[in-house]
């Protein structure tokens, strides 16, 4: 006798819990902020924001 039920998908794997040491994370953050790369990322974000900003008008509209 054939099975008329569709095959159920396999169960999804459970999410793993990862714990990090707070002092280690803070030390890494301090190191990243003191590095030159962090400042460069800020500049890049500013430049990217400028690309998507509305262009400003360079000239006034002509009066009628």
Three-state DSSP class for residue 31: helix
Which of the pair, 15 or 36, is modelled with greater confidence? 15
DSSP H stretches of helix in 1-64:
22-34, 36-52
Report the pLDDT value the prediction gives residue 42, as an integer from 0 to 100.
66
Average pLDDT over residues 4-26: 81
User: Confidence band (pLDDT; 50, 70, 90) for 19?
Assistant: confident
Higher pLDDT: 18 or 58? It is 18
For residue 10, what is the DSSP state? P
User: Do residues 45 and 52 lie in contact, with contact meaning Cβ atoms separated by under 8 Å?
Assistant: no
Residue 2 predicted with pLDDT over 60: no
Using left for φ > 0, alpha for ψ between -120 and 50, and beta otherwise, residue 9 falls in beta
pLDDT of residue 21: 92
């Amino acid at each position: 006798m054939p099975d008329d039920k569709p095959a159920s998908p396999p169960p999804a794997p459970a999410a793993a819990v990862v714990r990090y040491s707070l002092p280690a994370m803070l030390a890494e953050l301090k190191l990243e902020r003191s590095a030159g790369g962090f400042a460069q990322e800020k500049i890049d974000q500013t430049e990217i924001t400028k690309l998507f900003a509305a262009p400003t008008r360079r000239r006034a509209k002509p009066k009628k």
